[in-house]
A and B are shown apart, each in its own frame.
Chain A
Amino acid sequence: MNGAEPLFRMEGVSKRYGGVRALEKADLTVHAGRVHAILGENGAGKSTLIKIISGVVAPDEGRMTLDGREVTFPSPAAANRAGIVCIFQELSLIPDLSVADNIVISNAPTRFGMIDRRAQQRLAEDALARAGASDIHPKALVKDLPLSRRQMVEIAKALARNPRILILDEATSALTAADVTRVFEVLKRLRSEGLALLYISHRMHEIAELADECTVFRNGQKVDTYVAGSKTDNEVIEMMIGREYSHVFPPKPAAIASDKPPILETRHLSWTDRLKDISFNVRTGEVVGLGGLDGQGQRELLLALFGVLRGCSGEVLIDGTPVSIQSPATARSEQIGMALIPEDRKTEGLMLPMTVRDNLSFAALDRVSKNGIVDRAAEDRQIDEMIRLLAIRTAGTDIPVGALSGGNQQKVVIAKWLMRGPRIILLNDPTRGIDVGTKQEIYQLLRKLADAGAAIVFYSTDYDELIGCCDRVLVLYDGLVRRELVGEGITEHALVASALNIDDGAAAEPAAADA
């Protein structure tokens, strides 16, 4: 860790929010030409650290030096000018502007005081190419792009600013495996060009591939900095959570044969060109995974089941009887008993400014009220039970849910639906961007619910999760169920091969791509 002068150094930096210490006397040293990974659970202080470096929040104490000179950043713009560019986990793109507009947003090329649109187009195409995303049209509106494409635009936008220090905060969490490969190539090239990269990710194998050195944070304090590869994954995870780490995934029960009709079945379900002739079933007690690359129809399938999509053809059967589900209100009714944990907890899952209590009881208001009046006692009982069941860490039920950490917010989304006691639980990538500890709790919970008689359909972009949690996995490709994997057959190799729509024999290439 010696050698060249550090490019950027942080000493004794602390930050408090109210009474909560988000960061306590943190030190960090960043060198040019290296990838520095930051690890830690959510709430460990990583986000605060990043926000301080990139000028979003001001530290309470401590100092930062860039090239040996002390610096302060009163705004993200100031940090950008100093060459520090951050790709945030919460996307910073303007939805109503085009891709090109967004890429040059902070330093658009001008002629005679007006934006030179031809130069802008060139710059945008250039940046997209550098990010390995030439497939994105610079004139497309950001709001029309799927999440994974937006994330690539975000990366292109950062590159267009010619950063000296590039911070990636969970920047790969929404990307497909193929994109990750391309982004990694870009990052490695940037490293060789002398950039310093700060890399935050929950995906251990990404860090193993990319990082030169790692720093672990826990409870707002730095635990250790070490050279990448000098610790085993288990040692690292123990540093992060501060306890023994074993059995990430609960054991799967042996498959049970049953002659009862499946609780949920679809026959030839189709919707526009996104879902094609999908037939599958889920039995009570089963966890069925949806796999494949991002954007192959998994999200649409869940929305179709939940009654959000119009003009679906084909049949949906509950307990063997055909039903027509035309709205989420129908889907959640007693007869059907369906719940959907949505993809984006901030917009579709929660009302962020409202209290934990209000959010928890939204989906089950009819069950805790009589004649339209909410029975506060019954509501409290149920809420307390849910908070206990999911171990939601909150200072009380009357604080805004937006004040909770990401992992705990996600637990609230899940709990809110569990209050209805659903029989069929659909989950859309529920562990995206949340910490290892919470993930583990969610895995346990899913299995517990299945054992208690629920049927679970679980879409995840993380192959490890599908392998660890699911009894069966349907791999979707271009709106079709490409393959169904069962039990021992759910392997990373099989998942990747079928996700890329490659026959098993020729799977050597995708396996390498995923490494």
Chain B
Amino acid sequence: MKDWRYWLAEQRGTLLAFGIFVVMFTIYLVNHPAIENNGFTVNTVANVVQTASNKAVLLAFVAMAQTLVVITAGIDLSVGMIFILTNCLASWIVVGSPWQTALGVVGVLAAGLACGAVNGLIVIYGRLQPIVTTIATGAIYFGIALALRPFPGGDVNGDLADMLTGKIFGVVPASLVTLFAVVLIVWVPFKRSTVGRAAYAVGSSEAAAYMSGVPIRRARFAAYTLAGLLAAMGGLFLTFFTYTGEAAYASGNTYTLFSIAAVVLGGVSLFGGTGSAVGAVFGALAFRTIGDLLFVFDFDPLWQPLFQGVVLMLAVSLGAFGLFRVRNRLDWFA
């Protein structure tokens, strides 16, 4: 086999997610009322893309967070709550002069890191199951969020918010650029570092990783902590869009569950060891587009959960088509 074929095999999940997203987004664009009315002008398309991307990056950040943990064969059910907690925190501290605002942003991100670190430490040193640990810590994080914002409210630095939710040169949505930058600054170095490789190793076979002298604890800790950071990025952006903080329980849970759906859609195996956050980002974008498709087809919003569920089912089934080609039934279980 040639080198590129190995590359292709490795990227299959990501490319599939990308493909699903492109198809869905094209359908969305073509049927969008604004474009049907105005045609494909740069301005109209840019506006539609901006709105869509602003909504989708939230889930994309949370899905990236989920990916890191899922790669180690764990699962983080607290990402949605970290997302809510950091939103509430940001609505207090990302305000005031540029310096104060910058400090506030740092504070919000540090809070996310801290939440992730707590998850990691409990999973590693408490030796508890990730699923139970993060249900518990998630509830705690939500409790803190509620203490910070018993009622919706607060504010955020408007200049910063408008800048990051606007368009660069009037064309490219800034939120998308930020997402891209975060992938470049957080994910790529992680994936290429020894710690990142160790995270994959732990997820694929922890016993073999231990036998090979792989730093298992450091890998887990890095995955959970960075997951906290990425969820906080999501929380920050939520604040930029809404200008408020709200301890919304349902929203936190929804983001947690959607992040898992996005991760699977993005070709990341829940068994750990394979997949990429880039795939999960496309998974998240595709998942959001599924929801928006209803809007352009003028369906009753009441149908949205049902429709979203069906499309998700179909999309995930695409990834399972490979099973039809399996000639050795034992490979079903591999």
- Name A residues whose Cβ lies closer than 8 Å to a Cβ of B: 56, 75-77, 80, 88, 90-98, 101-102, 105-106, 108, 110, 113-115, 117, 137, 139-141, 143, 157, 271-272, 300, 303, 308-311, 327, 348
B208-221 CB mask vs A (1 if < 8 Å, else 0) is: 11111111000000
Cβ of A115: which chain B residues have Cβ within 8 Å of it? Answer: 192-194, 197
In contact, B211 and A113 (Cβ under 8 angstroms): no
In contact, B197 and A56 (Cβ under 8 angstroms): no
User: Contacts A96-B203, A96-B274, A105-B201 known; A309 to B189 CB distance under 8 Å?
Assistant: no
Closest Cβ of chain A to B301, distance in Å, is 41
In contact, B213 and A80 (Cβ under 8 angstroms): yes
Residue of A nearest to B210 (CB): A76
Besides A102-B212, A140-B1, 13 new A-B residue pairs in contact (Cβ under 8 A), listed by A number: A91-B208, A94-B204, A96-B203, A96-B273, A101-B197, A108-B194, A114-B192, A114-B193, A139-B3, A141-B6, A272-B327, A309-B327, A310-B328
Cβ of B197: which chain A residues have Cβ within 8 Å of it? Answer: 97, 101, 105, 108, 115
Cβ of B10: which chain A residues have Cβ within 8 Å of it? Answer: 141
In contact, A76 and B213 (Cβ under 8 angstroms): yes
Docked CA distance A75–B207 (Å): 13
In contact, A95 and B193 (Cβ under 8 angstroms): no
Cβ of B250: which chain A residues have Cβ within 8 Å of it? Answer: none
In contact, B328 and A303 (Cβ under 8 angstroms): yes
Residue of B nearest to A113 (CB): B193
In contact, B273 and A310 (Cβ under 8 angstroms): no
In contact, B273 and A94 (Cβ under 8 angstroms): yes
Cβ of A348: which chain B residues have Cβ within 8 Å of it? Answer: 330
- Name B residues whose Cβ lies closer than 8 Å to a Cβ of A: 1, 3, 6-7, 9-10, 189, 192-194, 197, 200-201, 203-205, 207-215, 273-274, 326-330, 334
Closest Cβ of chain B to A351, distance in Å, is 13
User: Contacts A108-B194, A115-B193, A115-B197 known; A92 to B327 CB distance under 8 Å?
Assistant: no
Cβ of A308: which chain B residues have Cβ within 8 Å of it? Answer: 328-330
Best-surrounded residue of B201, B205, B213 (most CB of chain A within 10 A): B213
User: Contacts A113-B193, A137-B6 known; A97 to B329 CB distance under 8 Å?
Assistant: no
Docked CA distance A86–B109 (Å): 43
Our pick among A90, A92, A137 for the contact of B212 (Cβ within 8 Å) is A92
Cβ of B212: which chain A residues have Cβ within 8 Å of it? Answer: 76, 92-94, 102, 105-106, 157
In contact, A271 and B274 (Cβ under 8 angstroms): no
Docked CA distance A411–B55 (Å): 60
Our pick among B6, B208, B334 for the contact of A139 (Cβ within 8 Å) is B6
In contact, A92 and B328 (Cβ under 8 angstroms): no
Closest Cβ of chain A to B10, distance in Å, is 8
Residue of A nearest to B204 (CB): A96
Our pick among B9, B193, B273, B327 for the contact of A271 (Cβ within 8 Å) is B327
Residue of A nearest to B215 (CB): A77
User: Contacts A76-B211, A96-B204, A143-B334 known; A110 to B194 CB distance under 8 Å?
Assistant: yes
24 contacts between A and B (CB under 8 A): A80-B213, A91-B208, A92-B211, A94-B209, A95-B208, A95-B273, A96-B200, A96-B203, A96-B204, A97-B200, A97-B273, A101-B200, A105-B209, A105-B213, A110-B193, A113-B189, A115-B194, A140-B1, A140-B6, A141-B6, A272-B327, A300-B328, A310-B326, A348-B330
In contact, B213 and A310 (Cβ under 8 angstroms): no
Residue of B nearest to A109 (CB): B194
Closest Cβ of chain A to B73, distance in Å, is 10
Docked CA distance A327–B330 (Å): 11
Docked CA distance A110–B198 (Å): 14
In contact, A106 and B214 (Cβ under 8 angstroms): yes
Cβ of B205: which chain A residues have Cβ within 8 Å of it? Answer: 93-96
Cβ of B207: which chain A residues have Cβ within 8 Å of it? Answer: 90, 92
Cβ of B326: which chain A residues have Cβ within 8 Å of it? Answer: 310
In contact, A97 and B204 (Cβ under 8 angstroms): yes
Residue of B nearest to A77 (CB): B213
Cβ of B200: which chain A residues have Cβ within 8 Å of it? Answer: 94, 96-97, 101
Cβ of A80: which chain B residues have Cβ within 8 Å of it? Answer: 213
In contact, B328 and A309 (Cβ under 8 angstroms): yes
Residue of B nearest to A111 (CB): B192
Docked CA distance A92–B206 (Å): 10
Our pick among B3, B194, B329 for the contact of A327 (Cβ within 8 Å) is B329
Cβ of A88: which chain B residues have Cβ within 8 Å of it? Answer: 211
Closest Cβ of chain A to B240, distance in Å, is 31
In contact, A75 and B213 (Cβ under 8 angstroms): yes
Residue of A nearest to B193 (CB): A114
Cβ of A96: which chain B residues have Cβ within 8 Å of it? Answer: 200, 203-205, 273-274
Nearest first, the 10 closest Cβ-Cβ pairs linking A and B are A77-B213, A96-B273, A92-B211, A96-B204, A139-B6, A114-B192, A106-B213, A94-B201, A94-B204, A92-B208
Docked CA distance A110–B9 (Å): 25
Docked CA distance A348–B333 (Å): 10
In contact, A310 and B1 (Cβ under 8 angstroms): no
Docked CA distance A300–B327 (Å): 11
Docked CA distance A157–B212 (Å): 9
Docked CA distance A308–B194 (Å): 39
Residue of A nearest to B194 (CB): A108
Cβ of A117: which chain B residues have Cβ within 8 Å of it? Answer: 192
Best-surrounded residue of B3, B205, B215 (most CB of chain A within 10 A): B205
Cβ of A95: which chain B residues have Cβ within 8 Å of it? Answer: 204-205, 208, 273
Docked CA distance A141–B328 (Å): 18
Closest Cβ of chain B to A110, distance in Å, is 7
Cβ of B327: which chain A residues have Cβ within 8 Å of it? Answer: 271-272, 309-311
Cβ of B1: which chain A residues have Cβ within 8 Å of it? Answer: 137, 140
User: Contacts A303-B328, A309-B329 known; A94 to B208 CB distance under 8 Å?
Assistant: yes
Cβ of A92: which chain B residues have Cβ within 8 Å of it? Answer: 207-208, 211-212
Residue of A nearest to B189 (CB): A114
Closest Cβ of chain A to B94, distance in Å, is 30
Docked CA distance A334–B208 (Å): 41
Cβ of B211: which chain A residues have Cβ within 8 Å of it? Answer: 56, 76, 88, 92
Docked CA distance A56–B210 (Å): 9
Docked CA distance A8–B328 (Å): 47
Docked CA distance A95–B205 (Å): 7
Closest Cβ of chain B to A96, distance in Å, is 4
Docked CA distance A77–B327 (Å): 40
Docked CA distance A90–B274 (Å): 22
Cβ of A327: which chain B residues have Cβ within 8 Å of it? Answer: 329
Docked CA distance A327–B204 (Å): 29
In contact, A303 and B330 (Cβ under 8 angstroms): yes
Docked CA distance A105–B3 (Å): 20
Docked CA distance A133–B278 (Å): 34
Cβ of B213: which chain A residues have Cβ within 8 Å of it? Answer: 75-77, 80, 105-106
Residue of A nearest to B273 (CB): A96
Closest Cβ of chain A to B267, distance in Å, is 13
Cβ of A56: which chain B residues have Cβ within 8 Å of it? Answer: 211
Cβ of A97: which chain B residues have Cβ within 8 Å of it? Answer: 197, 200-201, 204, 273
Cβ of A311: which chain B residues have Cβ within 8 Å of it? Answer: 327
Docked CA distance A113–B211 (Å): 24
